Structure 1
């Protein structure tokens, strides 16, 4: 059944349906539907996968009014046109002769981490890389009909002893793809099998042996076999891509997989090594587009974690993503990286364009929805931002960052109670995740629950290893709770820390806001603006900066950031 995100929207492909307002959206734009067409669509979607009899549709939608069957047929035709589902194709709405109509239930799948049958952990990068590559291939087959759980959530089930049904229930999937990889020199053996969650039946299994340079072709073969088994019609652009799969430079491919493996570890040391491996992959093959895309991801992750000055990180990321797209314009990952960089440069139209392009190319790419949600909340599109953040979490349901990002956006949107609930839910999954404590503390602050906020920020400081970001949040909470001495002690710690490594100017601004020193706060925000500080895009919606809103210097800064204006 199409995903209903906490009773707010039904999702299917590029569309989402608001069941309360009977409004259909394609992307972020409303699709005009006559009221009866919207009513019929809701009934069909609520009964996805089952035949809805004509008489039941007529009774439910037209109730006691006398209506001929032709009215229903015409309304179905209007719906198909709106959904871009021609009657001859019937991918979404199928006519069941002499009975009624059936709305196709999209398939949701997870690719479980491939088991490494090679020589110990030294080949983990290869098995994890193959898992991530298969997720990417399957996600692009036909996003209208097939949803694929993102890597972050899939990797939580590495070496799991949970049953197929347990995993299916936790992730909300109908199918699992699992497999194993054995690497011996330049030869690779892969065994894969497709399992249906409902009855744990094995639908298909196959083994492949290939040279390392033929991995791209192998992945496409598996993707086509899966599509055939679950009766997914390939999207035209993906059919062309699958038919033209060629070889890849083995050394470039291996360096790329090592880069991805290290990037996903998210420490300063592994991030630095990931940059080296991505650079090595494009040295082996200067036309290897995904190598450049990986390099862009690494620079932006450095930025997000505060390891590189923002301007340096975004400049390098834009250059790498731009090269990737000149070689392959269809890489959703590179468009997402480019949109992310533009976002931090306050180039709102360019960010919007690249995020939308990424989502159009691969609606299953969770990171595109994740970062587009950040863009939408920053520019004041609150409902749309929450919807995107929820969809990112649907695609990546046990991802800690996806969960905390939703909590942060709910906080920016003023939904503090719900933000607290989501943060606590993330902490149930991992009680040592610093970002969740930070989001929890921010929401508690806005509820004037200062002791709870301070306790949450103290946990964030502990589990982040006293990161400057969390020290600043704790200092702000102390200050607004009237604990000036504690706030000033942390401010001094931040000053000492800034002599050793990069500390965001926003961190200092936040502390001075809490202390009531508007002049110092605004001076640091000005530095943040000049340095492209990562926190600055959220300046309009960040409730902790509310004491500055009436100051002409703050208003001038906001004007210089050229936020888009939307019709109300």
Structure 2
């Protein structure tokens, strides 16, 4: 298609030669790729242009992601004032491509005479000179100042989401600065107590095809703040807008210009101006923030971007970027904070030892707070690191120091990450209900965060609320249905099935870089426990050889599994008693203790342990029966089995029948485990045939041993003990062992084939 031609597209005249589109009232420009894509759509007007065809024609011989195409389409739509939800120009065909639906025609041109050419030449020459003068005058005002648009005082906004700024520059290389600017505005606004500010993890989900009403409904906010950044040489222009999610009306806007691209002070002044616009009582600080070297600032933004990815490789990148920043600016407090977080996370998400990570992080957070004592992020980071150190060393005085730091941080700024870290501390102190409150506050500020909902799921599980944990995890899956970590996350929340264990093996094969050196110890822990659950000991040993150091809780689990295979219930009980003593607040630990006491024949102690967890059960049979729910049905079953052994069969049978009636009502999310517990309940009731029927169904549904949450196998399950001598049970057990063996062999084939393939490649 010749670029000398022009096209009429709706109200717009498309001029490829100047990369511009014109209407009677406005002229706008597009970058080269956007114009090429628009011309391609014009050429195929009314017909679908597939994504593959676009990549072939526009980005030939270059590797680009689907995100680049989405951004380019978004730029064209913005220029045309098109709405992705109700398009007038470009319609999206999901998973297929795009089609130009507006009428388009080629604009006929009249060949100019020689005189016309001369006039045109001089006109363009004079116009270009005037335009150059105007641009020079406009952009050379080095003072960072907003335009003359009036600001609206006293905006009545109680909640807002700050979207990532769009980079309209041709080079598209400002991703760190655009995200850094949005992040800075979020931190400034979060200091306003009356204002709910959505965390960037949720607000950054909305990058293209903005629909303010949809965002308002999803994030439960009254307004969104959006903007764009344009750079031309050394000139930078930033447009900022606040839009109502109720009626899509513009309620505030300003434009900022500077000749210092990616300036630290530029970011600081814009975020301050936005905060003052939304909160008129805010007074700007009398002393501006220290000027930061531009390169140091860019390294810092890159570090911020990478630590938020929370993977071993990304965290190591973040460490490198923060170190580069500090080489240029040794007193850059924010870079010290970022480096401290990155080091601390290398234990949680990487393979660093806990104390090694803490020792690396502490000097940097102390330095940051010496430079900025009232940094909300710095105080929160200190709280997180001190909490980790208290857990690692047993120094409880550090917990109190951490709690003070978190409290001070939240007084300065409402921040989802601070609520999350504080909830971890509260959980360690045994204040689990309070921890739930803080996690719920974090989710209000960051409603699309899978990490927060995953954390709440794990917390529910530690509180013995298995069904609540399952349901919360379902919300995680809705937000991230294709998460690469799904097998790992499921193993932490749910009991194993044959399908889930095989999925973990397939994941390992598909992720050689993650498992080649066990870069994340926590992930490899769950993998090992899954393999041991099916007897795949060699595959588990291969991973164990790569894991260092082993975390204490994991060594404890391995010990219980070995003792369980030896049926040494007495020593198991001793170890679990010691564990429960160390974490007296954990309901999960005490439920585990009651199970160990029951298995060791200490029925009185098992009953006492459960009564300590649920004191209202004692001497209140009616309340106990009426309060059976999806989170406690398996604990009631254990309690009833203990009563049966203590010669209280009538109460025990009433409770067991109540559990059976509850489980038939289909209230439990984990159908496999509910069916298995029905087998245990009927076994205790003496309903052997019904118990065998439920057990058969559970095994067909994929039930398998889950050494991530227990240490016994089907062959020595004590609640099924009344069935053990029955020939039908032995047949089921024989078939189960065969299925387990086949699964084990399947896993080994997957893993060995992968190893063989890599050897051939080498």
TM more than 0.5: yes
1:295-347 deviation digits (Å, cap 9, x = unpaired): 11111221211232221111111110110000001112121221111111112
Change (3 A) 1:200 1:321: same
Change (3 A) 1:233 1:414: farther
Q: CA deviation at 1:119?
A: 4.2
Change (3 A) 1:394 1:435: farther
Write the distance in 1 (CA, Å) between the matches of 2:510 and 2:472: 19
Aligned to 1:473: 526
**1:509 maps onto 2:562 in alignment:** no
Kept in 2, the 8 Å contact 1:506–1:524? The answer is no
Q: CA deviation at 1:273?
A: 2.3
Aligned to 2:246: 198
Write the distance in 1 (CA, Å) between the matches of 2:530 and 2:322: 41
**1:400 maps onto 2:450 in alignment:** yes
1:131-185 deviation digits (Å, cap 9, x = unpaired): 2122112222x1x211211121122112x22411101111111111111123456
**1:147 maps onto 2:209 in alignment:** no
Write the distance in 2 (CA, Å) between the matches of 1:522 and 1:272: 41
**1:429 maps onto 2:474 in alignment:** no
Q: CA deviation at 1:275?
A: 1.3
**1:226 maps onto 2:279 in alignment:** no
Of 338, 357, 360, the residue aligned with 1:313 is 357
Q: CA deviation at 1:420?
A: 0.6
Kept in 2, the 8 Å contact 1:214–1:248? The answer is no
Give SS of 1:269's match: helix
Change (3 A) 1:327 1:463: farther
Aligned to 1:541: 586
Aligned to 1:410: 460
Aligned to 2:316: 272
Of 190, 204, 211, the residue aligned with 1:163 is 211
Aligned to 2:713: none
Aligned 1:111-510 pairs, distance under 5 A: 111-140=162-191, 142=192, 144-158=193-207, 160-184=208-232, 186-212=234-260, 215-231=263-279, 233-234=281-282, 239=283, 241=285, 244-245=288-289, 247-346=291-390, 347-363=398-414, 365-433=415-483, 437-445=487-495, 454=501, 465-466=514-515, 468-476=521-529, 483=533, 485-486=535-536, 488-498=537-547, 502-510=549-557
Q: CA deviation at 1:106?
A: 6.5
Q: CA deviation at 1:522?
A: 9.5
Write the distance in 2 (CA, Å) between the matches of 1:539 and 1:437: 30
Aligned 1:36-51 pairs, distance under 5 A: none
Kept in 2, the 8 Å contact 1:134–1:223? The answer is yes
When the two structures are aligned, how many residues end up with a matched partner?
424
Give SS of 1:497's match: coil
Change (3 A) 1:462 1:174: farther
Q: CA deviation at 1:215?
A: 4.0
Write the distance in 2 (CA, Å) between the matches of 1:417 and 1:453: 18
Give SS of 2:241's match: strand
Change (3 A) 1:186 1:258: farther
Q: CA deviation at 1:462?
A: 7.2
Kept in 1, the 8 Å contact 2:241–2:253? The answer is yes
Q: CA deviation at 1:263?
A: 2.1
1:365-409 deviation digits (Å, cap 9, x = unpaired): 211101101111121112110000111111111111111111111
Cα RMSD of the aligned pairs, angstroms, is: 3.6
Write the distance in 2 (CA, Å) between the matches of 1:127 and 1:291: 18
Q: CA deviation at 1:231?
A: 4.8
Change (3 A) 1:468 1:398: same
Change (3 A) 1:241 1:314: farther
Kept in 2, the 8 Å contact 1:117–1:182? The answer is yes
Q: CA deviation at 1:537?
A: 9.6
Write the distance in 1 (CA, Å) between the matches of 2:302 and 2:229: 16
Kept in 1, the 8 Å contact 2:157–2:223? The answer is no
Kept in 2, the 8 Å contact 1:179–1:192? The answer is yes
Write the distance in 1 (CA, Å) between the matches of 2:286 and 2:160: 20
1:72-98 deviation digits (Å, cap 9, x = unpaired): xxxxxxxxxxxxxxxxxxxxxxxxxxx
Kept in 1, the 8 Å contact 2:333–2:371? The answer is yes
Write the distance in 2 (CA, Å) between the matches of 1:135 and 1:377: 28
Write the distance in 2 (CA, Å) between the matches of 1:427 and 1:459: 19
* Greater Cα radius of gyration, structure 1 or 2: 2
Write the distance in 2 (CA, Å) between the matches of 1:276 and 1:209: 32
TM-score (norm 1): 0.66
TM-score (norm 2): 0.50
Write the distance in 2 (CA, Å) between the matches of 1:120 and 1:246: 29
Structure 1 stretch displaced more, 352-361 or 513-522: 513-522
Kept in 2, the 8 Å contact 1:300–1:337? The answer is no
Kept in 2, the 8 Å contact 1:423–1:436? The answer is no
Give SS of 1:169's match: helix
Q: CA deviation at 1:115?
A: 0.8
Q: CA deviation at 1:494?
A: 2.9
Write the distance in 1 (CA, Å) between the matches of 2:313 and 2:326: 21
Structure 1 stretch displaced more, 204-213 or 329-338: 204-213
Write the distance in 2 (CA, Å) between the matches of 1:541 and 1:336: 25
